[in-house]
Chains A and B, each alone.
Chain A
Amino acid sequence: MGLLSILKKLRSNTERELRLLLLGLDNAGKTTTLKQLASEDVTQVTPTAGFNIKSVLSSGFKLNVWDIGGQKKIRPYWRNYFENTDVLIYVVDCSDHQRLQETSFELAELLQDEKLRGVPLLVYANKQDLATALPASEVAQHLGLHLIRDRTWQIQACVATDGTGVKEGMEWVCKNIPVKK
């Protein structure tokens, strides 16, 4: 085997890098989800001013996860992070009934954006451990997910604070990455 073929083989073995964008309203649980993905302590989370970024290895992929603050003042900056996104992850606090409409509106805006066209969507229906949380199916209805025709999507019930469902969501992500040349 020549040096070149060894190098080629090495190269094909390196993980593919993916860019995941984590969005949602403030207090939805984005940072907690991010920390859960990176197997970090989730009990000392603070509100995100700006953004956090972490790289996680999962099923042979290097996932670069961008967690952008969800506060209303920050939302106009979300657009700056759309470019080259492989998968959009949208986190919803299912116990926050009052802001379901607000979160649907924000999601609808995202889905209309040219830069995010065709990007697969994973919705985390978070905080399922709370008694007042709506089930994932109902949240899907509120968000109008069944009307989406231009991309693959999935809704995953989860509890970011203890990790329930987070891994399942990521497995879906790794299976549904758009093929790139």
Chain B
Amino acid sequence: MVFFNLWSVIHWYIRPFVKWILRKTTRLCELQRICYGDKPGAQRTCNVENSLKLSHTRDVIEVITFLDAVVLEKRFIPQNFDDVLYPSINIILRAKQINTKLHPKFVPAFRKCLQQIWSYRQLIDDIEELRCTQYDSKNSDHEEKLLKLWSLLQPNELLEDRITKQWQNIGFQGDDPKTDFRGMGLLGLENLLFFAKEYTQVSSHVLSHSQHPKYGYTFAIVGINLTSMAYYLLKDGSAKTYMFNAKHYLPNIDLFHRFYCYLFFEFDKLWIESKPENIMEFSMIFKKFENAIRSQLSDPASVFRINIAIDII
């Protein structure tokens, strides 16, 4: 407790002082030092986010509040970036007295960080909405997606009926998948669908593993549990490493799906390598997997890619 108090005192009083010294000696503000000194990606963006969060400058606080409000209105999307970010960046440039003529590299780097930070916050909102949408068998859109999932995963087998034991072949629990999505709602289905659609080869490879007579597991159910894991990693901020290090994408629903596909591929690999006795070892292996992913994500330099080479075997 004492230590904690001491730490907050240091943070509150010493930090501005250290910043002031650095500013005088380097003639750069903290945001500039981060943007010039840190590698682009998770390292830089997380440090910028932290610096903004700790700022006492009124203008900076107002910009943060404004951007959060844009997220709340679901307007933090690429076509609005110019309208939203231009004034925000200008306010910060003025508050921090940054001369863009002397520092032409700062704005593009800083802008990218802002895009990533608030796209991530927007993504949490969007994902929450999908998760809260319960699967509804009376909704033709939901039903269509479910049937699409079947045809993508089992292209050579016709579904005999909407309610049939065949669903168990792709790892649902019973005759009707509708009750299996539970707390993950439509997000669980969308994740599976993306995996089957965008990574057709990988997903059919993973599905065939799940049907292994000895090391088999329930593909869809495990998938829904992975949705839950991806969701928690997103919400507690751990997924930032993955999202901010994705060079060509901003955090959005597709990138979340890609993150999920990565987890699925990696989990399958670990499962097969573990040679489990039966499905009852799932909880243990799943926990082990989560710990491994968490430790990977805690290193901001980690880059995540599905190693497709294995797929060819």
Contact = CB atoms under 8 A, between A and B. Distances in A.
Interface of A: 26-27, 42-47, 49-53, 69-74, 77, 80
A50 B281 contact: yes
A64 to B, nearest CB: 14
Among B217, B278, B280, B284, residue most surrounded by chain A Cβ atoms (within 10 Å): B280
Given A52-B283, A71-B218, A46 B173 contact: no
B173 A71 contact: yes
Contacts of B231: 44
24 contacts: A27-B174, A27-B180, A42-B183, A43-B183, A45-B183, A46-B188, A46-B221, A47-B173, A47-B182, A47-B224, A49-B217, A49-B218, A49-B225, A49-B279, A49-B282, A50-B281, A50-B286, A51-B280, A53-B283, A71-B173, A71-B174, A71-B221, A77-B280, A80-B280
Contacts of A50: 279-284, 286
A31 to B, nearest CB: 9
Contact of A46 (B168, B217, B228, B284): B228
B306 interface: no
B167 to A, nearest CB: 12
Nearest to A53: B283
Contacts of B217: 49
B222 interface: yes
B114 interface: no
A26 B167 CA distance: 15
Nearest to A80: B280
Contacts of A45: 182-183
A44 to B, nearest CB: 4
A47 B283 contact: no
Contact of B174 (A49, A51, A69, A72): A72
B19 to A, nearest CB: 39
B272 to A, nearest CB: 15
Given A46-B227, A47-B182, A49-B222, 20 more contacts: A26-B179, A27-B179, A27-B180, A43-B183, A44-B131, A46-B182, A46-B184, A46-B221, A46-B228, A47-B221, A47-B225, A49-B218, A50-B280, A50-B282, A50-B284, A53-B283, A71-B221, A73-B168, A73-B218, A74-B280
Contacts, number: 68
Among A43, A44, A50, residue most surrounded by chain B Cβ atoms (within 10 Å): A50
A27 B218 CA distance: 15
Given A49-B282, A71-B218, A44 B183 contact: yes
A49 to B, nearest CB: 4
Interface string B155-183: 00000000000001000011000011011
A29 to B, nearest CB: 10
A73 B224 contact: no
Given A26-B173, A27-B173, A71-B218, A46 B225 contact: yes
A74 B281 CA distance: 12
A67 to B, nearest CB: 10
Contacts of B284: 50
Interface in B243-296: 278-284, 286
Interface in B208-249: 217-218, 221-222, 224-225, 227-228, 231
Given A26-B173, A52-B283, A77 B183 contact: no
Contacts of A72: 173-174
Contacts of A49: 217-218, 221-222, 225, 279, 282-283, 286
B262 to A, nearest CB: 19
A104 B131 CA distance: 33
Contacts of B224: 46-47
Nearest to B281: A50
Contact of A77 (B184, B188, B228, B278): B278
A43 B228 CA distance: 11
B134 to A, nearest CB: 11
Contacts of B188: 46
A72 B217 CA distance: 13
B283 A74 contact: no
A70 B168 CA distance: 14
